[in-house]
Amino acid sequence: MAAPMPSVLPSFGTLNEWEASTFYPLGVRVANGGNVYVCVSEGTSAGSGGPTGTGTNIADGSCLWDFVIALAVAWAPTTAYTTGAIVTND
- Is the whole model's pTM more than 0.85, yes or no? no
Residue 8 confidence (pLDDT): 46
Task: Indicate the burial class of 60 (C-beta count within 10 angstroms; 0-12, 13-18, 19 or more).
Answer: buried
* Cα–Cα dist 54/82, whole Å: 13
The whole-angstrom separation of Cα 73 and Cα 17 is 16
Neighbours of 19 (CB within 10 A): 12
41-89 pLDDT, tens digit per residue, is 999 999 999 999 999 999 999 999 999 988 877 888 888 877 767 777 7
Residue 90, exposed/middle/buried by CB under 10 A (0-12, 13-18, 19+)?
Answer: exposed
Residue 53 CB neighbours (<10 A): 11
What secondary structure letter does DSSP report for 40? E
pLDDT, position 22: 98
Residue 76 is predicted with a pLDDT of 85
pLDDT score, position 89: 79
User: For residue 27, is pLDDT > 80?
Assistant: yes
